[in-house]
């Protein structure tokens, strides 16, 4: 009997309201952050006397900080309380944060806007554990890979559209600031409306006593996850992907400007191609896995991340243009299409890599502890991303070019992949079985 594919979930109440709530949250985060970074990059003198480089690092850092500080608490709350009610309250918080941000936009009050950045980081921190614990409650096992693929696709497309729209809106004179202020409130309200349509989702551990000591709960979460070797290995592998992605994406602006000699449009093009690759790879996982939780796709994804990361380094070396170009002229340069395809394939294989990892965690984790496990993983993700930023800065200070950083990251990925698969040979076993067509 033919089963409907993952897109049919968008017509079902058990999935669609949740999907749009998380999509609109990712979209709104990035509209707001990108608009603020664009203003500080091009109109800094009208807003502050602080150094632009300092602010451009402070703002992403403040967004990530709540993941480190409050993920352990967020995981407990998501396991203790009914999820649809939690989502509605979190979305009300988002509306309040965007109202504060609107006041900051209209008054040109930078510190109110920076406070709102931290607030949106808190919003995402609280939503994160719910996001991946909700799916195994509402989807059947043979729908989990497709559902996770849809969520990953929605997240990256939301990020992409938010970044593009944020930069476009704020540059519209003379009403750009007002458009961002009003638009982010409207999107937050739309997310709250979507959350209100979510079906009741019982708490898996309503008797849980919340430990408000963030440090001890964080350690307890990690230790609990370490007892389940496959789950903890998947958590580390997932965090590595965010390390890899953080390094690559952070280089795109300067890579587009200083190596490809392009304008802002080239940066947007690279970001778009990468995001579409992630979305496409995530959606393809359902078909490639035969609707099973197929962790054999993880080695395939890791292989692609290394091969096409290395080829991006090689392709960059064959790009010889030194004249300023826009998108049209860039695509006519020798080597440009190879660079574009490498970015696309890195994204596609990234989708193959990450979606089965989420499904593995969801199906092999203690059902009463899923949210806290995801919260622990979010802490690891944040720490890995901070380390990625520090490593990139060290490599740049050591005199490495951006293509060389791509190469180092790709080779590190090979080393990490070998370590992961050595620790958990089941990944390789399933990969061989998948390649040979055995189930």
The CATH number of whichever domain residue 101 belongs to comes to 1.20.1250.20
Note whether residue 214 is domain-resident.
no
Same domain, 103 and 248: no
Same domain, 238 and 335: yes
**Domain C-terminal end among 183, 201, 219:** 201
pTM for the model: 0.80
For residue 11, the 8-state DSSP code is: G
**Domain C-terminal end among 185, 201, 217:** 201
Same domain, 197 and 234: no
CA gap 268, 331 in Å, rounded: 14
| 201-231 pLDDT tens trace | 887 778 878 778 777 877 887 787 788 888 8
Domain range for 324 is: 230-439
Note whether residue 212 is domain-resident.
no
Same domain, 285 and 190: no
Instruction: Show the DSSP H helices in 296-435 as ranges.
Output: 297-317, 327-330, 336-364, 370-397, 402-423, 426-435
What is the pLDDT averaged over residues 415-428? 92
Same domain, 176 and 241: no
| 239-292 pLDDT tens trace | 999 899 888 887 887 788 888 888 777 888 888 898 889 888 888 887 887 767
* Residue 1 binned pLDDT confidence (cut-offs 50, 70, 90): very low
Same domain, 24 and 112: yes
Domain count of the chain?
A: 2
Same domain, 175 and 94: yes
Same domain, 191 and 236: no
Tokens 């994160």 correspond to 128
Note whether residue 139 is domain-resident.
yes
Note whether residue 87 is domain-resident.
yes
Same domain, 298 and 403: yes
Same domain, 400 and 255: yes
How many Cα atoms are found within 13 Å in the side-chain-facing hemisphere of 354?
Answer: 34
Indicate the range of 43-52, 192-201, 207-216 predicted with least confidence: 43-52
For residue 45, the 8-state DSSP code is: G
How many Cα atoms are found within 13 Å in the side-chain-facing hemisphere of 214?
Answer: 10
**Domain C-terminal end among 201, 222, 255:** 201
Note whether residue 215 is domain-resident.
no
Same domain, 337 and 434: yes
List all residues 6 or more positions away from 264 whose beta carbon is below 8 Å from its beta carbon.
Answer: 167, 256
Same domain, 189 and 247: no
Note whether residue 224 is domain-resident.
no
Q: Residue 79's closest CA among 375, 379, 372?
A: 372
Cβ-in-10-Å burial (0-12, 13-18, 19+) of 202 comes to exposed
Q: Work out the mean pLDDT of the chain and round it to a whole number.
A: 84
């Amino acid at each position: 009997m033919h089963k409907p594919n993952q897109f049919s979930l968008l017509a079902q109440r058990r999935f669609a309201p949740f999907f749009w709530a998380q999509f609109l949250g990712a979209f709104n985060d990035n509209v707001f952050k990108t608009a603020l970074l664009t203003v500080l990059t091009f109109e800094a003198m009208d807003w502050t006397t602080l150094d632009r480089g300092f602010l451009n690092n402070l703002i992403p850092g403040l967004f990530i900080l709540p993941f480190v500080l409050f993920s352990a608490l967020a995981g407990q709350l998501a396991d203790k309380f009914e999820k649809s009610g939690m989502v509605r309250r979190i979305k009300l918080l988002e509306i309040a944060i965007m109202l504060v941000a609107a006041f900051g936009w209209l008054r040109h009050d930078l510190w109110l806007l920076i406070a709102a950045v931290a607030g949106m980081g808190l919003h995402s921190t609280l939503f994160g554990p719910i996001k991946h614990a909700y799916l195994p409650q509402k989807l059947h096992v043979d729908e989990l890979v497709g559902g996770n693929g849809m969520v990953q696709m929605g997240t990256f497309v939301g990020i992409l559209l938010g970044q593009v729209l944020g930069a476009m809106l704020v540059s519209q004179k003379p009403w750009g600031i007002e458009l961002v202020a009003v638009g982010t409130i409207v999107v937050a309200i739309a997310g709250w409306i979507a959350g209100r349509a979510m079906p009741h989702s019982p708490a898996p551990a309503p008797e849980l006593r919340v430990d408000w000591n963030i440090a001890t709960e964080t350690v307890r979460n990690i230790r609990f996850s370490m007892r389940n070797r496959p789950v903890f290995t998947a958590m580390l592998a997932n965090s590595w992907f965010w390390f890899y992605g953080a390094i690559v994406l952070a280089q795109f602006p300067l890579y587009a400007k200083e190596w490809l000699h392009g304008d802002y449009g080239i940066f947007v093009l690279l970001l778009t191609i990468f995001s579409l690759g992630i979305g496409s790879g995530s959606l393809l996982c359902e078909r490639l896995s035969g609707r099973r939780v197929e962790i054999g796709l993880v080695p395939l994804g890791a292989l692609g991340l290394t091969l096409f990361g290395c080829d991006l380094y090689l392709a960059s070396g064959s790009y010889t243009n030194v004249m300023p170009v826009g998108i049209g002229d860039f695509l006519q340069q020798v080597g440009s299409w190879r660079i574009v395809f490498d970015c696309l394939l890195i994204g596609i294989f990234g989708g193959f890599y990450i979606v089965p990892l989420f499904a593995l965690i969801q199906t092999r984790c203690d059902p009463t502890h899923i949210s806290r496990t995801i919260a622990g993983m979010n802490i690891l993700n944040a720490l890995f991303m901070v380390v990625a930023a520090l490593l990139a800065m060290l490599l740049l200070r050591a005199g490495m070019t951006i293509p060389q950083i791509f190469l180092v990251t790709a080779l590190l990925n090979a080393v990490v992949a070998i370590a992961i698969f050595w620790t958990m040979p089941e990944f390789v076993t399933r990969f061989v079985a998948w390649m040979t067509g055995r189930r």
